Amino acid sequence: KKLALDCAGKTPLIYTSHLFSPLAYKWKTSFNENAKNIIWCNEFPEFNHNEFIGWTSHPIDKPFCVINLRSNLDNPRINQRLDLTDRLLSGFRPQAHNLVLVGQSYIEQVINGAILGDMASIYLAFLNGVDPTPVALVEKFKQELVK
């Protein structure tokens, strides 16, 4: 609920390791479809090669909600990169929400993370004043394709 409240009226940006990039993509599709909200995701270390620089030329007051999906299963260098990135981009972007994935195994962390993303996206849908279930534009697109 808190995450959805913090993301209301903003564009969420999900960052994580390569290991959890499928989960970040799941969050992206859930926020797109349920909350009718645009969202981007990227993975570390790729982020530090290009997107990292993009933050330095934009004012901090841009409407973004930065979310780092973190795990004890990640390589320690990834967590070092996340920490260093947060420190170096302080003042250039909103402070990141560091969400530590819960679970003893990779599959537990992915399932728990997927549920959290779904719940946040559904709550954000209500905050956005939209029904999370219909995907009218997708249905219209499919109908147009068959013509």
Coil, strand or helix: which one is 65? Answer: strand
- Identify the active-site residue in 49, 97, 139, 140: 49
Q: How confident is the model at residue 53 (pLDDT cuts 50, 70, 90)?
A: confident
Is 73 exposed, middle or buried (CB count within 10 Å of its CB: 0-12, 13-18, 19+)?
Answer: middle
Q: How confident is the model at residue 60 (pLDDT cuts 50, 70, 90)?
A: low
pTM: 0.88
Q: Where are the domains of the chain?
A: 2-145
2 is catalytic: no
- Identify the active-site residue in 1, 58, 62, 142: 142
33 is catalytic: yes
Q: Which CATH superfamily is domain 2-145 in?
A: Glucose-6-phosphate isomerase like protein; domain 1 (3.40.50.10490)
3-state DSSP of 85-100: HHHHCECCECCCEEEE
- Of 59-68, 81-90, 112-121, 124-133, the range with the lowest mean pLDDT is 59-68
51 is catalytic: no
- Residue 13, amino acid: L
Q: Is the pLDDT of residue 56 over 70?
A: yes
Question: How far apart are alpha carbons 119 and 125 in whole angstroms?
Answer: 10
